[in-house]
Structure 1
């Protein structure tokens, strides 16, 4: 394929989509990525490393609106600009430098779950399906015409990290499938009906606080949505913070009836009793970053 591209990319989706472009013969003239944050849990691969292995120049500007970045991309005169899990919106003036279009890979089935951390939100809301969507970039986030998308299932016990792995493969498949048509100028432009979709903002670690008065399914969805390597769903008992790393919806058990809401130790097992009188069975609980046993929990909270 004969086309030159500038790629803004980060995370595993960025890594895999960059590899797709290279495998399809796209001339990637520049990769723009992020410096890893030393305060962040870096559990994903390095776009910068992949680019370096292929001899592609890599830069990490803090602001994509930087005038020097604009001039550098203008000099390249790219056919395409791609954004694959890059964390900043690209300004319209920069997008206009792409002679044949600027496209973003988003981790949902647009128009649903526009905005930040779409996979975590989909799991939190109990969705049974999500996916990856390649779309045109505009001044609004995730608002441009849809070029292609691929769906993946969300199974009842999937964590957000497990769904992210599926969406990464879906992103790779989506780009691989549509790229020849994109280069040929024959890729579709489908309506992205924002009124029929949804938009969500970012999440903070504190958003993982568990409200035990909610039904067990909602509590479990939160646990799945923020389970490690994300910061985790947590509760605080007796001035101790506990993070639930792994759990399942518990079957109905007479021993749980009448117990107070929240973290409980029953028959040397850990449970979280919820507002609908059901519970989540906790299979891994962390305290100060390390797993803790039911006996150790009992000594701390009772």
Structure 2
């Protein structure tokens, strides 16, 4: 019987929690958690700890929140834990090479795509925006590139037509935790061969910008449908009506021969807002008027007129 590995876990957001939970429930020992510093959130700018910090402290695990991971002090602190393996899940910073190579099993990562597709910061959102029907997670041996390390264990997941980046992120986080536990067990047993990524198949998932959400209604409804879902919940897709910003959620493509101008409101009732696009129609079932909370369209139109024939711009 092999002795438990000493694992250092590096992660910050909610996406990392199932992976940390899986390791805590597994046969190995998480000796330390490393996450980003506390941040100010909400309108009140309240200081909030990262989700990984909260879970680690509840489990009685030491937590490190270094301003920099490239100092000699941090390297020596990590070395003092005598790690056999480091696991990184959405930590948020690029790790230096000597830190990656410090544990005897190196450093592995849970990435939210089927590598080499969608390397980078926004793999889940970009997969939805691009209309993919399948995605997954990849357990990867980390190197100093951006998601360029050898593939250790992939796991596939179909994308549902109603998935948003929020719902898909939750599914992939859970799949990541399950796959990570299997990968660590196989790594210990020497049964996890590394496979080099095919650079010819590689693509990059760039970080999202708020301006990407401004809808171009001349595009086909299918493309807008994918964009809205990919940007839900953040940064969200939007358009303007009468000088006011409206954010859109819960889209549905409605086939039809479009005669109206792109962005024209064709119907606004309890079923949603039907708008013309460059090809087919788009039905919006949830909306967020500027300065208001997200709501169903039926609630919105009770206090706001959206005249048929007028346009979103």
Above 0.5 in TM-score? yes
Q: What CA distance in whole angstroms lies between the structure 1 residues aligned with 2:42 and 2:129?
A: 22
Q: Distance in 2 between matches of 1:40 and 1:196?
A: 40
Confirm or deny that 1:154 pairs with 2:152: no
User: Which runs of structure 2 are paired with 1:57-136 in the superposition (5 Å)?
Assistant: 57-136=62-141
- Alignment match, 2:207: 202
Task: Answer whether contact 1:265 1:294 (CA < 8 A) is retained.
Answer: no
Deviations 1:64-96 (A, max 9, x none): 223321120122221111101111111112112
Aligned to 1:271: 274
Residues 40 and 149 from structure 1, CA distance in 2 versus in 1: closer, same or farther, beyond 3 angstroms?
A: farther
- Name the counterpart of 1:174: 179
- Most deviating of 150-159 and 10-19: 10-19
Q: Is the 8 A contact 1:5 1:78 kept in 2?
A: yes
CA contact (8 A) 1:270 1:294 kept: no
CA drift of 1:251 comes to: 3.8
User: Residue 118 of structure 1 contacts residue 200 of structure 1 at CA under 8 Å; is this kept in 2?
Assistant: yes
Give me the TM-score of the superposition, normalised by structure 1: 0.90
Cα distance in 2 for residues equivalent to 1:122 and 1:209: 18
Q: Runs ≥4 in structure 1, deviation > 6 angstroms? A: none
TM-score (norm 2): 0.87
| Matching residue of 1:19 | 21
Q: 1:263: how far off?
A: 5.0
Distance of 1:139 and 1:127 partners within structure 2: 28
Question: What is the SS of the residue equivalent to 2:88?
Answer: strand
Task: Compute the displacement of 1:36 (Å).
Answer: 4.6
Q: Is the 8 A contact 2:232 2:249 kept in 1?
A: yes
CA offsets 1:4-44 (integer angstroms, 9 cap, x no match)? 111101223311111221222222121001235334799x9
Question: Conserved in 1, the CA contact under 8 Å of 2:35 and 2:50?
Answer: no
Match of 1:294 among 296, 301, 305: 301
Instruction: Provide the C-alpha distance between the structure 1 equivalents of 2:164 and 2:36, rounded to a whole number of angstroms.
Output: 26
Query: Structure 2 regions of 5+ residues with no counterpart?
Result: none
Q: 1:265–1:298: 8 Å Cα contact kept in structure 2?
A: no
Aligned length: 296
Deviation (angstroms), 1:265? 5.0
Q: Is the 8 A contact 1:15 1:45 kept in 2?
A: no
The CA distance in 1 between the partners of 2:265 and 2:67, in whole Å, is 46
The DSSP-based 3-state class of the residue aligned with 1:271 is strand
CA displacement, residues 148-175 of structure 1 (integer Å, 9 cap, x when unaligned) = 0111000222111121122112101211
Q: Which residue does 1:243 correspond to in 2?
A: 247
- Distance in 2 between residues matched to 1:227 and 1:79, nearest whole Å: 38
RMSD (CA atoms) = 2.4
Aligned to 2:260: 259
